[in-house]
Structure 1
Amino acid sequence: MLSISRKDLYGEIWSVGMTKAAKKIDIPYDKLKKACVDHDIPLPTQSYWSKLYMGNEKPSQPELPKAEDNVVITIKKAKKQQVKLAPKKIVKSTKQKEKQESSPLKTSHGKLSEQEKSYFSYFKQDENRLIGIYNNLKINKTLSSKPHKVIVGYRKKTQFYREDQLRIKSASGEIFPEVLPFIDSLFKALEKAGAKIVTKYEETEIILKDKYTITLNFKLPCRKINLSPKDERYSTYHTFEYETKGTINVEIGYKLYWRNWGRSEKNINQTKRMSTEDLLRKVFVYIFSLPEIIDEREKEYIIQEKQRLKEEEKRLILQENRDNEYTKTKQLINNSLNYFYSKLVQEYVTTEMEKDSEEYRWAMEKANWIRDSEKHPDDLLNNADKTLMLRYENK
């Protein structure tokens, strides 16, 4: 059992926060929160810590109601693990367990694996420099006195929705202290590696070697908290809030020059067993693994494009040959019909008309015009008239 005055408990949670206070006094988080609510102790919100961390001005802290009422609060402590029953064995097994749990993180903190080295060796001239930057990756507990210019712009909090500035997506609208040092360290490391940072309203672009465009989106997963009617923040239209989980998710993709609107994406999510430094190393390595993938995609695209152009050229040649054949065949049919109708008219004129008459001569001229209107043009009629008369287009 823990006995602590109401005033001291208030001071503890507002100095270090609920989570750290629970660990410090060895009390389960939910029991600590219930004790505060039951004894009318105001709880610090995520926005309070976020504003405090931004450092523009110290946010207002609510006063303790009835501060003179110095009631002693009794809370049950967390159950201790049975470590003391067999100190040697259990301590040993605990260390082994911690070793096993931390083993996945050793890859990121220790030496580069062969696969990770291959990503950096893809940039032959910069391989050693990139490995050096990777080995020196670290995150300060607090934001440096000279943060990256993108962070400076973000902290001003003056950006509009579509303004080209850093975006950190969070349903709660708040960030926790570790986020900005993480982004600051990542951007500075990338610039040391020769990359350019370009912030846009929908994402952040990393330009490598003026050739590769990598996209980043920073997301803070949140949990939904239902408010009870007793809560001061509760109303008919405000029954729940979002609270950040304290982890960072980074969405990484890349753009292709022939398809700027499309990108391939991968989410690198920070787990409970992954520190922000582990996440930083993982993101840094993955960014430098993408150029080789982009080049492979480009080679595939070039091969496909060459094949497409060949097929298109063949299709155009085939279409041209077909059109020529169609035109020649159509002309042949038209000439044949013209010849047929011309012969038909001549036979009729020879049989039915007198040779020395004016009508005979006129009819023979028309027969010649039907056969070939270019060689025997008519003063009044044209090819359109002939087509309409013979109607062989429809036939």
Structure 2
Amino acid sequence: MGNEKPSQPKLPNAEDNVVITIKKAKKNQVKLAPKKIVKSTKEKQELPPLKTNHGKLSEQEKSYFSYFKQDEDRLIDIYNNLKINKNLSSKPHKAIVGYRKKAQSYREDKLRIKSASGEIFPEVLPFIDSLFKALEKADAKIVPKYDETEVILKDKYTITLNFKLPCRKINLSPEDERYSTYRTFEYETKGIINVEVGYKLYWYSWGRSEKNINQTKRMTREDLLRKVFVYIFSLPKIIDEEEKAYIIREKQRLKEEEERLILQEKRDNEYTKTQQLINNSLNYFYSKLVQEYVAAEIDEESEEYRWAIEKANWIRDSEKHPDELLTEHEKEKLFNKKANRTNFW
């Protein structure tokens, strides 16, 4: 006890192709998209993948656009060249041109940018301009609408965007020239951009799944741009998976509905047959009852006897022995009254 030599952990083997990383404990650490993505080349595929000491692929090695095999290299090129100009381009995207042409109260008809202050800061439009142009380079269609901006990928996937500018509330003092009885506070933007990204499903037109991608203190606007771009192109796989699950559910629902209708038809047929059996039995019962009464109480030579026998036959089968005046409806009324009296007693 106390004489043991302290043990030292084994050093990593240089041939293991492992990248040593130092884990820094930080609160609220936000995972950022990589600044560059490495293309998957044939030579690279023959080598073992680059790993960290935790056994995970490095961010640059991940296949962010592998769902689009034919367009993967082009999407990586677009991604690696994502940047935001300090000032708005002299030829901004047409959605921004339409937005700037409108008076402030009508601008949301052209491009939805939510801000409680009613104002946007200078970096917002260059960010949106860079995002829209990058998406169009990837053959996406940008469709601004009043409540959102739609991004159509491959003429199949509908992605939705909403741009939000968080604001802080500023209380105004009576000494402030902007202060009035009806204006005791105002909002000012915090200088950050949040992007709400969602998608629509053709079988669920009134709802959509959404995710807020918020710009944090550690995140530059170009970091935000990269993260939004990557997330947009991750959604088609999710949409396809949800569609496959929906098709399976719909097939099962249609199968169950068909089985329910077949069972209901069988029940209806069985009910109709049983009802007919009961009606025929009642007709037979009342017909026999009338015949027995007539035979016992009425003179066979009388006109009343002939009339009563005809009524007994009509009760038994009104189709074979129709009555000149009474119909099937009257017979049902007679039987219902008789049944009600029987049940009462």
User: What letter is aligned with 1:347?
Assistant: E
User: What letter is aligned with 1:307?
Assistant: Q
| Distance change >3 Å, CA 373–CA 104, structure 1 → 2 | closer
Are 2:98 and 1:146 aligned?
Answer: no
CA distance in 1 between counterparts of 2:235 and 2:61 reads: 12
Q: 2:67 matched to which residue of 1? A: 122
**Contact persistence 2:169–2:186 (CA under 8 A):** yes
Are 2:37 and 1:111 aligned?
Answer: yes
| Distance change >3 Å, CA 385–CA 242, structure 1 → 2 | same
TM-score by length of 2: 0.81
User: What letter is aligned with 1:209?
Assistant: K
Q: Name the SS of the counterpart of 1:109 in structure 2.
A: coil
| Distance change >3 Å, CA 160–CA 360, structure 1 → 2 | farther
CA distance in 1 between counterparts of 2:286 and 2:245 reads: 61
Q: Percent identity?
A: 80
Q: Name the SS of the counterpart of 2:162 in structure 1.
A: strand
**Contact persistence 1:105–1:274 (CA under 8 A):** no
Are 2:159 and 1:233 aligned?
Answer: no
Return 282-291 or 308-317, whichever deviates more: 308-317
| Distance change >3 Å, CA 290–CA 344, structure 1 → 2 | same
Between structures 1 and 2, the one with greater helix share:
1
| Distance change >3 Å, CA 322–CA 162, structure 1 → 2 | farther
Q: Select the residue among 338, 347, 354 that pairs with 2:292.
A: 347
Are 2:129 and 1:184 aligned?
Answer: yes
Q: Name the SS of the counterpart of 2:163 in structure 1.
A: strand
C-alpha displacement of 1:291? 0.4
**Contact persistence 1:105–1:278 (CA under 8 A):** no
Q: 2:323 matched to which residue of 1? A: 378
Return 114-123 or 168-177, whichever deviates more: 114-123
Q: 2:229 matched to which residue of 1? A: 284
CA offset digits 1:333-353 (Å, max 9, x no partner): 110011011011111111112
CA distance in 2 between counterparts of 1:175 and 1:393 reads: 81
Q: 1:300 matched to which residue of 2? A: 245
CA offset digits 1:22-77 (Å, max 9, x no partner): xxxxxxxxxxxxxxxxxxxxxxxxxxxxxxxxxxxxxxxxxxxxxxxxxxxxxxxx
CA offset digits 1:164-185 (Å, max 9, x no partner): 4101111111111110000000
TM-score by length of 1: 0.71
- Residue segments in structure 2 that go unaligned for 5+ positions in a row: 1-21, 39-57
CA offset digits 1:125-163 (Å, max 9, x no partner): 111110110001011100111000001011113376597
| Distance change >3 Å, CA 388–CA 175, structure 1 → 2 | same
User: What letter is aligned with 2:292?
Assistant: E
**Contact persistence 1:387–1:393 (CA under 8 A):** no
CA distance in 2 between counterparts of 1:239 and 1:310 reads: 62
Q: 1:369 matched to which residue of 2? A: 314
Q: Select the residue among 109, 133, 139 that pairs with 2:78.
A: 133
C-alpha displacement of 1:115? 9.1
Q: Name the SS of the counterpart of 2:250 in structure 1.
A: helix
CA distance in 1 between counterparts of 2:252 and 2:63 reads: 31
Return 121-130 or 184-193, whichever deviates more: 121-130
**Contact persistence 2:161–2:196 (CA under 8 A):** yes
Return 192-201 or 359-368, whichever deviates more: 359-368
CA distance in 2 between counterparts of 1:184 and 1:232 reads: 36
**Contact persistence 2:37–2:61 (CA under 8 A):** no
| Distance change >3 Å, CA 116–CA 335, structure 1 → 2 | farther
C-alpha displacement of 1:393? 6.9
Q: Select the residue among 190, 199, 215 that pairs with 2:144.
A: 199
Q: Name the SS of the counterpart of 1:218 in structure 2.
A: strand
**Contact persistence 2:159–2:198 (CA under 8 A):** yes
User: What letter is aligned with 1:300?
Assistant: A
C-alpha displacement of 1:236? 2.1
RMSD over aligned Cα atoms: 2.4
CA distance in 1 between counterparts of 2:85 and 2:95 reads: 17
C-alpha displacement of 1:212? 0.4
C-alpha displacement of 1:225? 1.1
Q: 1:4 matched to which residue of 2? A: none
**Misfit runs of 4+, over 2 Å:** 103-108, 110-119, 157-164, 392-395
Q: Select the residue among 333, 340, 343 that pairs with 2:278.
A: 333
CA distance in 1 between counterparts of 2:170 and 2:76 reads: 43
User: What letter is aligned with 2:173?
Assistant: S
Q: 1:212 matched to which residue of 2? A: 157
CA distance in 2 between counterparts of 1:150 and 1:351 reads: 99
CA distance in 2 between counterparts of 1:162 and 1:118 reads: 38
